[in-house]
Structure 1
Amino acid sequence: MSIITTYNDLVSALLQGDKELVIGRSILVSSSITLAPEVTIRGEAQENGEYPTLSFSNTDGVGLTKNNQIKNLNIQTDPSHRAVYNILQAQDLGHFEFENLRLIGQFSFITRPGTKSAKVSIKDLDIIACDARRYPEQPQKYGVNVWQGALTVYNFNSEDDSRIDLTIDNITIGRKNAPVLGSGLFVSGFGDKGGTVVADRITTGAVYSNGKLPFGVPDIITAAIFIVYGATVKQLTHHETIVTYGVSDMVLDTWGHVENWLSEKDVISYGPSGIGFVNFGTVGNFVVKGDVKTYGLGARGYNQYDGTVDNIEFGSIETFGDGSIGIQLSRKIGKLTVHGDVITHGGEGQSLVKGVLSTLKAIGLSVKEGGEAEQITIGGNLETQGDALSTLEVNKGGIIHAMQVGGDIVAKGEGSQRLDIEDGAQVPDSLK
């Protein structure tokens, strides 16, 4: 085994069919490279302990085929290119392993018709910068398209027996006030039917993303964390803060299935029409130990649009924009607990709702027709501070079976009221 230190060494090793490529020095590469099946590429620590960098000139980076490994490397492309991507479509792609990588550019693993199985293991991956907005493969549902992420795992095969098995340990994406563009982490199957992605676990550090969508565009969304349809995650854990900055940038979003979802720190949205957690899928246990805070026009705390969640908990929820509802339920859920306060600071404003710009009021807790909760517990206040609002709204057909508020239900704004319970709503006697 020889150590590769120049571009010519790298080209020679690829042409000779070497199975292990060991990079000992940083190299500028003039075109993308492809790893043949069973080939590993890894970095060798330099004298100061730093791993070398493969820099690619105006092209994509490292292409994958079958049973490849990439470890201990920095890979730099332009942010709008793919740093790591797969190109072979075969019935069984085997097992891909990625460890201790720092990327500029997208990590993209997309399977297409002809591929029935692949296993992807990712450990200690840091995507410093990426622009993932130009890729044409996009999920479509609820009147919107979803842009891919800096880290994208996507089964784009419509065959039901096609499956990607995924494990992700310790990824970080973007930087504070320097987010990746598009989504952050994006995991998707083909659709509600078709090829799937099954992840036994996903753990992240901090994730920062910004879709840079113009205000008023109703049919495109992004998310810092997006578990899309056809994707199932058994355990999803965030050890650091998750943040979005732009218009219609959800923070945590799913159209798929998550058994256990834990965010240990805060969930923050700065842009208009962002949502801290929006659920169209099926979630078992969802817990945010930190706080959910949104700062944009029409940016809500928690929305249950479709699907359900068995148990959901937040430290607190606070919104600061007009039209920014604290909690809105449009489907049946199990137990909802907010250990602190639910507070909204805005009045009336526009927000994106299922692909349509709608006028909303910054209600504290809204239960729409079809919305239902077995138990709602709020440890502190349920409070609105804007004018002409209802703090707690339950529409006809909405149901709250049991509710407990440790503090008070408060309406501070002029012309606001604590309760708006419509005829035909079902609520505990304490709210009548």
Structure 2
Amino acid sequence: MTDHRYCEIADLADAKNQLDEIRHHIHQHPELSYEEVNTSEFVAGKLAEWGYEVTRNVGGHGLVASLKAGTSARSVGVRADMDALPIRELTGLAYASVHDGKMHACGHDGHTTVLLGAARQLAKTRNFDGTVHLIFQPAEEAGSDSGAQRMIADGLFERFPCQAIFGLHNHPGVPTGTFGFRAGPLMAACDTVKVRIVGRGGHAARPHLTVDPVVVGSSIVMALQSVVSRNVDPNEAAVVTVGAFRSGHAANVIPEDATLEMSVRSFSSKVRETLEQRIRALIASQADAYGATAEIEFIRGYPVLINSEAETEFARKVAEELVGAEHVIAPFPPIAGSEDFAYYLQKVPGCFVRLGNGEGRPMLHNARYDFNDDNLTIGAAFWTRIVERFLAKDRA
């Protein structure tokens, strides 16, 4: 049953054109991780215009916009990411990127606009009792030393206390306006492994005088296929993908070395540890068996994103109130992609939500991707209602 005390999608109808314009402006002027100077200033200007107390340069180009209503000491945080990707856009849109080789191919332009839409509505109605902190984060796409890590290190939660935090990402392939929720592990930890295999180069006609790093690397690639199938519980999920294998420059030369790069994904800390141990041991033993050596760099990326039970259930109920249970998927399937929102959830309970970007639309990180503008008022109403319900006057 819809509770009309709280925000409805129709309440944002008057903001739709403005939100379209904001999203298209951000899309047209993408900035990569750590470079979000103009995006941050553009967002800050809108927030200040609507009456927020805006704190700039939190963990880099991050912003926190705070608004208090009523007398309650309760507080809640909502986060959007602002950075783009190093991709050359191929959409042909009228508002396509004007910066060649830079593109909002993951929808962060939409995420930012959705939160701005909620900011406008919350400032207009002030239908809550407490403090809301709207977090506009840079450098989500960084992979390591990300915007979330930098904002936390800069005292985010000490300076802007949050009893819970919420975030959202669009999801191509799921119907527009459909929300997805999963308590517990939702998105994978993502680690990168770089390996340099050192052999002994020589003439292709005299392989017996060499230690061929191409053969060693090939053996390692094949042996790695056993890590998940033979070392990880079949009830658990993990991925080990070798994405790069480079060696040599000529057909008649056995090279001195070879390099491998791989992506390793997991949904639990125990499996993550197992994967690292087995990958290291397997690579070292394979190289030794051929008389080569292996230099291994295991780079820890984002951790597993784990949604807390109570906040996920709360957000699911809010979505059902807003769009109806038929437009809510719970539990949503685990996602092998990773997200630095996971770092916030290690500090504060909360929920990361998926919002369908439409069926048959290009996937994330694709040069033809575009955020679905039909979601702007849907997402903005959802965030508005989350804040109103979490900071409701009659909520303990």
TM-score (norm 2): 0.25
Q: Which has the higher contact order (CA 8 A, sep 6+)?
A: 2
TM-score (norm 1): 0.24
Q: Which structure has more helix as a fraction of its residues?
A: 2
